[in-house]
A and B are shown apart, each in its own frame.
Chain A
Amino acid sequence: MMRSPSEPITYMEEDLIQRSRAGDSDAFAALVEEHRDAMYHLAWRMVGSPEDAADLVQEAFVRAYRSLDRFEGRSSFRTWVHRITVHCCLNHLRRRKRKGEVAYQEEWMDNPGYQERAGEARLHGRIDRPDQAADRSDLTAAIEGALGELSPDHRAAFLLREYNGLSYKEIAEATGVSMGTVMSRLHYARKALQEILMERIPGHTRGRERGVESQ
């Protein structure tokens, strides 16, 4: 079901968009189904909280549904929905900052909602042996913490590339900046993450051998 990020709008997708515009919620549900998990992961890593991420995905899709008439198909539907989700996440982070709340939640690992869903993922075979799971949770916590130290703009560029697989051009469209800016943000984000993760996960990201072997 998953398409290449930059695949042009298919006849089927165009049909679903047309039907959604006419108020067909089943057609819109089909569009949502294809992108919801990717948006959820993006939002989760953007704001650091699975609950807020679920709310933000809802907000993004509600906005998308309301704006379908304005979608002209110049970019793919996927890029367009990414753009809306990034916008919602950045707004959310700004609101939090204005309220004096923690801008990025790092306590998500203790969150019962996360543990529940991690258990669900384990059931589906997406999390493996307990020793590997423990290793992974350490890794995940380290990555989550490191991402929290990036600025929202750098984080967005990095996540869109690494987690959502958008091309540089699509990231530029989704974030409303030039490709040069995208590349600068990616470069900065990667350098910062490498430094942070080297401190937090000794042995990782240090050498070529280990990295290539683990591919």
Chain B
Amino acid sequence: MNADNEHLIDDINGWSDEWLIQAYVDGQLDASCVCRFEERLTADPGLAEEVGRQMALKSLIQRDKLAMPPMPRIPREVERWCALAEAVDVAESEGTQFDSSAGRGFGNRFHSFWNQPLVQAAALVVLVIGLVRLYPIQGVGDDPDAIASTAEILSLDLPQEGTGAYVYEQAESNLTVVWVTGLSDGGGVGEEPES
């Protein structure tokens, strides 16, 4: 009910009930209109029920409104906005095109930066180089770890914590590989022909 007196409605002749209810719950009616409407409310339960529904909706919206956080503050942002506005003015007066995205928020600048094909290609190359350095490509050979990574685990036996026997089957060589971990010598490998 925060409307200024200057804006209050003082003539509701010919208004539908729907408009009256709305103006009433919004506090847009002047005192005399409010009195007239409230007399009707006491005599008309249906009308009062509808007012209740509208008030309930307003109540929900108020709760949502109060939960909204303030706009994030960025240091010197208004100065930058003013500078941006002046830059746009200058560009317009010179008849040149102004890149409006240049002064936009971080989110859009970030987005437009990564949207450039060259930037995306460079990022991809750096990613691939990084992965190759971290995980050098090597042949499977006899390296049990590599074999394990390419083989299917047939069984896993962990007799005690920190030790275990993994049985793998390598598709290429048709060998069953047993890799035992947690032994005192740091682990061992045993290979035996497929039975």
Contact = CB atoms under 8 A, between A and B. Distances in A.
Interface of A: 4-7, 23, 25, 28-29, 32, 36-37, 39-41, 44, 51-55, 57-59, 61-63, 65-66, 113, 117-118, 120-121, 126-127, 136, 139-140, 143, 161-163, 165, 167-170, 183, 186-187, 190, 193-194, 197, 201, 204-212, 214-215
Most buried by B among A4, A36, A65: A65
B137 to A, nearest CB: 36
Given A55-B105, A205-B53, 17 more contacts: A25-B78, A28-B78, A32-B81, A36-B71, A39-B71, A55-B108, A58-B77, A62-B85, A66-B88, A117-B70, A118-B67, A121-B70, A136-B64, A139-B64, A163-B65, A190-B22, A211-B59
Nearest to A209: B52
A140 B67 contact: yes
Contacts of A206: 53, 56
Most buried by A among B48, B104, B105: B105
Given A6-B4, A55-B108, A186-B22, A117 B56 contact: no
Most buried by B among A23, A118, A168, A209: A168
Contact of A215 (B7, B59, B69): B59
Interface string B34-75: 000000000000001101111111111111111111111000
A190 B85 contact: no
Contact of A54 (B55, B59, B105): B105
Contact of A162 (B49, B51, B65, B103): B65
B28 interface: yes
B162 interface: no
A183 B57 CA distance: 16
Contacts of B82: 23, 25, 28, 65
23 contacts: A23-B82, A28-B78, A37-B70, A51-B107, A54-B107, A61-B81, A62-B81, A66-B85, A66-B88, A66-B89, A120-B69, A136-B67, A139-B63, A140-B67, A163-B65, A168-B26, A169-B7, A170-B7, A186-B26, A187-B19, A194-B53, A207-B49, A212-B56
A53 B108 CA distance: 12
Nearest to B19: A183
A58 B73 CA distance: 12
Given A61-B78, A66-B85, A187-B19, A193 B52 contact: no
B63 to A, nearest CB: 6
B71 A212 contact: no
B81 A6 contact: no
Majority SS of interface residues in chain B? helix
B2 A121 contact: no
A39 B68 CA distance: 12
B57 A193 contact: yes
Interface of B: 2-4, 6-7, 9, 18-19, 22-23, 26, 28, 48-49, 51-72, 77-79, 81-82, 84-86, 88-89, 103-105, 107-108
A81 to B, nearest CB: 13
Contacts of B22: 183, 186-187, 190
A105 to B, nearest CB: 12
B56 A207 contact: yes
Nearest to B108: A55
A41 B148 CA distance: 56
B78 A4 contact: no
A57 B52 contact: no
Nearest to A179: B9
A211 B57 contact: yes
B7 A167 contact: yes
Most buried by A among B61, B68, B69, B77: B69
Contact of B4 (A117, A167, A193): A167
Contacts of A190: 22, 54, 57
